Structure 1
């Protein structure tokens, strides 16, 4: 009997358009994912690979605004109340609006956690405090390039969630799961729930990671499916998303 793997599925707000993006989310939830990570499209990302950059640029070229993002996230949160919604974005968008104001707004549309990779956990402009005040989680990002002292510093914070980037660099390239990666995950876990991602494409990878993380994060793999199959219509697209999600969750 297959033991389901918790998966956090990454999608981009408004990609390829709002109706299809919602249909994709519906398919992901129906396929057994445990979390949705919604990325706010950004014009100058520091962690995103080619697929996500291209998708974000397509959304922004339509004049997609923060209000559009918020409406999309709010619809997800109200439609799938049992699925925690985490938002991934960049510091510029939060800082420009004021971190506390940004967090207040996100809490108001049902967001449970914020992942802002270019706000380091020890210089986060008040993000963690603001999230605590609004019943949300600020999710710091850890990478294998962190030295042992910095890993220890993060572990001592005992954050509820930590996003473990499985390698340095940007998303999209295939990730090889080797003993050093497992050692990194086990080293930073502490009492936190690890969300492990970057380059996860297959059920085999998610099964290897599952004993060492709370949830496996998959993003570019879904973005690539959307880019390929969206022109064929919603039915085909949802079928392909469903197949990959069930593979990653071990429910196929």
Structure 2
């Protein structure tokens, strides 16, 4: 029987101090560049990759990822293109867990049941949908359970302890811990406040903790070791590819992992 996403994450942690999840926007700057970047990530130790299906109003994303979404849409990327590309990448890189990240309008317009069925069929392990409150996601959560997909839930610094426990009870795979208020992109200070927040996160759930928003340096990842289970790198990689090209991604990933 195939291990669940949570079980595999925990197994990988037996050999690593911390895991790494990366993020890219499909179609930005092109699917061919995406293909090269994913190969660099997979070959250099990334455990999970978020494949973001572009949306016109990505409310949780900062200016770099917002622009990537807009440019990908302007370039003509469509949901069907993203699904076909994801299927190709999953087949090419069996050692990586791929997850879809998008906004609920995309899933709803496609048909929630059809989207989740197709995602599961191609081997996607879970979905990250930041604008869908769990109270309003009954059809989505039921569909994830039916198809063996992990619905990834979020903790934020403003979440109460009770809210964290309530949200975690509806999730699977891991919890995405938003490191600070606001949107993606700006650097997060690795300070005592973040440490206390992660302690609250840990107390609220037995699921692994993935920490994202503003993580982009080796020092950030090192600070999370022992406090979280997975570091999430998003904006930093997109900026790197913009400035230096796909070949720079491999050395960057190796440096992050020490």
Q: Hey, what's the Cα distance between the residues in 2 that align with 1:19 and 1:31?
A: 19
2:68 to 47, 50, 55: 55
Q: Hey, what's the Cα distance between the residues in 1 that align with 2:196 and 2:241?
A: 33
1:216 to 217, 231, 234: 231
Shift of 1:119: 0.8
- 1:15-38 per-position Cα deviation (integer Å, ceiling 9, x unaligned): 211111101000011111111111
CA distance 1:158–1:104, shift in 2 (3 Å) = closer
Equivalent position of 1:144 in the other structure: 157
CA distance 1:158–1:59, shift in 2 (3 Å) = closer
Structure 1 position 75 matched with structure 2 position 83? no
- Higher mean displacement: 115-124 or 215-224: 115-124
Equivalent position of 1:130 in the other structure: 143
Do the aligned residues in 2 keep the contact of 1:120 with 1:141 (CA within 8 Å)? no
Give the number of aligned pairs: 242
Q: Hey, what's the Cα distance between the residues in 1 that align with 2:66 and 2:233?
A: 16
**1:70-109 → structure 2 map (5 Å cutoff):** 70-109=83-122
Q: Hey, what's the Cα distance between the residues in 2 that align with 1:112 and 1:94?
A: 16
Point out where structure 2 has 5 or more consecutive residues left out of the alignment: 1-15
Q: Hey, what's the Cα distance between the residues in 2 that align with 1:177 and 1:67?
A: 39
Equivalent position of 2:250 in the other structure: 242
Do the aligned residues in 2 keep the contact of 1:196 with 1:216 (CA within 8 Å)? yes
TM-score after normalising by structure 2: 0.89
Q: Hey, what's the Cα distance between the residues in 1 that align with 2:33 and 2:90?
A: 16
Shift of 1:157: 4.5
TM-score after normalising by structure 1: 0.91
Shift of 1:98: 2.8
Shift of 1:218: 0.3
Q: Hey, what's the Cα distance between the residues in 1 that align with 2:182 and 2:155?
A: 12
Point out where structure 1 has 5 or more consecutive residues left out of the alignment: 231-236
- Higher mean displacement: 216-225 or 50-59: 50-59
1:177 to 178, 185, 190: 190
Equivalent position of 2:35 in the other structure: 22
- 1:55-108 per-position Cα deviation (integer Å, ceiling 9, x unaligned): 111111111111110111111100011211011000111122332222112112
Do the aligned residues in 2 keep the contact of 1:91 with 1:118 (CA within 8 Å)? yes
Shift of 1:128: 1.9
Q: Hey, what's the Cα distance between the residues in 1 that align with 2:46 and 2:175?
A: 18
Structure 1 position 194 matched with structure 2 position 209? yes
- 1:157-199 per-position Cα deviation (integer Å, ceiling 9, x unaligned): 4633111111111000000122222222222232101111001
